[in-house]
Amino acid sequence: MAEELNLVSDLAVILIAAGVFTLISKALKQPLILGYIVAGFIVSPHLGLFPQISSVEEVKQWSEIGIIFLLFALGLEFSFKKLLAVGSSALITAGTQCIGMFIVGLVTGNAMGWTAMEGVFLGGMLSMSSTTIIIKAYNDMGLKNKPYATLVFGSLVFEDLIAVLLMVLLSTMAVSRKFAGGEMVWSLVKLAFFIILWFLVGIYLIPTLFKRMRRFLNDEILLLLSIGLCFGMVALASAAGFSSALGAFVMGSILSETVEEARITKLMGSIKDLFGAIFFVSVGMMIDPAVIAAHWGSILVIALVAMGGILIWSSTGALLAGKGLDTALHAGFSLAQLGEFSFIIASLGCSLGVMRDFIYPVIITVSVLTTFTTPYMIKAADPVIAWLQRKLPPAVLARLTPADAASRPESAAEKSLWKALLRSYALRVLLYTVALVALLLVSARYLDPLAERLLPAMAATWRGYLEMAVSLALMSPFIFGLAVSNGSINKYAGKLLKEKDTNRWPILALMVLRMLIAVSFIMTVVTAHVTMGGWGVPVLAVLLLVLFFLAKRIVHKTTWLEERFMQNLNEKEVLERRLKPVSTQVQDKLAGYDVHLQVIDVSPDFQYIGKALRDIPLWASSGVNIIKITRGSRAILIPSADEPVYPGDHLLAVGTTAQLSALTEMLRQHEQARGGEQREEMEFTVDVVTLEENSYLAGKTLRDLRMRESCCMVVSVLRGNEHRTNPRADFRFEPGDVVWMAGEKKSCEWFAR
Provide DSSP, 549-606: HTHHHHHHHHHHHHHHHHHHHHHHHHHHHHH-HHHHHHHHHTTTSS-EEEEEE--TT-
Euclidean distance between CA atoms 549 and 27, whole angstroms:
74
Is pTM beyond 0.85 here? no
Q: Does residue 103 contact residue 282 with C-beta atoms inside 8 Å?
A: no
pLDDT at residue 248 in the model: 86
Q: Does residue 15 contact residue 277 with C-beta atoms inside 8 Å?
A: yes
Q: Does residue 590 contact residue 640 with C-beta atoms inside 8 Å?
A: no
Give SS3 for 87: coil
Q: Can you tell me the mean pLDDT for 307-315?
A: 90
pLDDT at residue 406 in the model: 40
The residue ranking higher by pLDDT, 167 or 747, is: 747
User: Where is average pLDDT lowest: 378-387, 399-408, 630-639?
Assistant: 399-408
Predicted confidence (pLDDT) at residue 385 exceeds the cutoff of 80: yes
pLDDT digits (tens, 9 = 90+) for 44-62: 777 766 666 666 667 777 7
Cα–Cα nearest to 310, from 578, 52, 576, 104: 104
Structural domains in the chain plus CATH codes: 2-52+60-385 (1.20.1530.20), 428-572 (no CATH), 581-676 (3.30.70.1450), 684-751 (3.30.70.1450)
pLDDT band at 228 (very low <50, low <70, confident <90, very high): very high
How much of the chain exceeds pLDDT 90, in percent? 2
Kindly report the backbone phi and psi dihedral angles of residue 735, in degrees, each rounded to the nearest multiple of 5, phi listed first.
-60, 140
Cα–Cα nearest to 670, from 747, 619, 605, 715: 605
pLDDT digits (tens, 9 = 90+) for 483-536: 776 666 666 676 666 667 777 777 778 788 888 888 788 778 877 776 655 555
pLDDT at residue 410 in the model: 40
User: Where is average pLDDT lowest: 108-122, 426-440, 446-460?
Assistant: 446-460
pLDDT digits (tens, 9 = 90+) for 617-659: 877 777 788 888 888 778 887 888 888 888 888 888 887 777 7
Euclidean distance between CA atoms 404 and 319, whole angstroms:
9
Cα–Cα nearest to 433, from 524, 309, 354, 298: 524
Euclidean distance between CA atoms 664 and 233, whole angstroms:
41
Euclidean distance between CA atoms 491 and 148, whole angstroms:
35
**C-alpha distances out from residue 240 to 64, 193, 444, Å:** 19, 11, 17
pLDDT band at 231 (very low <50, low <70, confident <90, very high): very high
pLDDT band at 403 (very low <50, low <70, confident <90, very high): very low
Q: Can you tell me the mean pLDDT for 573-591?
A: 64
User: How many whole angstroms from its chain centre is CA 619?
Assistant: 33
User: Where is average pLDDT lowest: 132-146, 284-298, 607-621, 692-706?
Assistant: 132-146
Name every residue whose Cβ is closer than 8 Å to that of residue 2 and which is 6 or more positions away in sequence. none
Q: How many residues does the chain have?
A: 753
pLDDT digits (tens, 9 = 90+) for 197-219: 888 888 888 888 888 888 888 88
pLDDT band at 40 (very low <50, low <70, confident <90, very high): confident
Cα–Cα nearest to 112, from 342, 355, 281: 355
Average pLDDT score, the chain: 78
pLDDT at residue 65 in the model: 83
The residue ranking higher by pLDDT, 293 or 554, is: 293
pLDDT at residue 473 in the model: 77
Predicted confidence (pLDDT) at residue 726 exceeds the cutoff of 70: yes
pLDDT at residue 416 in the model: 63
User: Where is average pLDDT lowest: 98-102, 578-582, 586-590, 632-636?
Assistant: 586-590
Predicted confidence (pLDDT) at residue 269 exceeds the cutoff of 80: yes
Q: Does residue 201 contact residue 239 with C-beta atoms inside 8 Å?
A: no
